[in-house]
Amino acid sequence: MVEAVTAQEMQRFDRYTMEEIGVPALVLMERAAMATIEVLAAGTFDLANVLVIAGLGNNGGDGVAIARMLIQKGVNVDLLILGDENRATANTATQLKIARGYGIHTQNRVRDFRNYTVIVDALFGIGLSKPVPSKLGDIIKRVNAANIPVVSVDVPSGLHVTTGEILGSAIRATATVTFAYPKQGLLQNEGLKRAGNIYVKDIGIYSPEELAEFKQEESEN
């Protein structure tokens, strides 16, 4: 059984799930979004006015899917996209296209984060390994200063997934919904202070070793 994993291990499991098992990345994004919404809708958070902050990487794609699904459920959501959309990953660009196909609008700035009842942080995911750019770091600081509940998707943005160190600036989350396995950085150093309540959600990503055990058990049944 896999316990807490590093960024490198999680990236290997992601690739294995997509390339060897054949689960499309967009399917994993949809599952990640639904898993995050389960936590958001469980009753702890006030969904009267939600802000989703999405970056350009695949973590941002999760955020776009979360915003779309919440809006389709009748929740009041603003979707803040940070960065040049022309630099978005292919899957995040697809999520943006889907969202706009449903008539969902995006914005590129927020005047006052205190206007929201909860913020979904989908700015940076497990791939972040260098300091957060200063402009985005300033936004992270503004979010923290607003003192609004924050739910981070997979990892608080700006936190090193493996070491738990802050990469310039990092979100202070109320809760972190992380996928497949706990990440080592959530359980040590600044991760202990920044992750809040940690929810580990199964979205169909497994290590090759754990999947082999599962297959063995199934063959014996």
pLDDT in tens, 75-99: 999 999 999 999 999 999 999 999 9
| Averaged pLDDT of the chain | 95
Q: d(Cα 42, Cα 186) in Å, to the nearest integer?
A: 22
100: left (phi over 0), alpha (psi -120 to 50) or beta: alpha
DSSP 5-62: B-HHHHHHHHHIIIIII---HHHHHHHHHHHHHHHHTTTTS--SSEEEEE-SSHHHHH
Is pLDDT above 60 for 1?
no
pLDDT in tens, 45-78: 999 999 999 999 999 999 999 999 999 999 999 9
* pLDDT value of position 208: 87
pLDDT in tens, 102-112: 999 999 999 99
pLDDT in tens, 19-31: 999 999 999 999 9
* pLDDT value of position 221: 63
Contacts (Cβ under 8 Å, ≥6 apart) of 44: 175
By percentage, how much of the chain surpasses pLDDT 90? 91
Q: d(Cα 68, Cα 105) in Å, to the nearest integer?
A: 10
| Beta pairing class for 77-81 and 118-122 | unpaired
pTM: 0.94
More confident residue, 117 or 211: 117
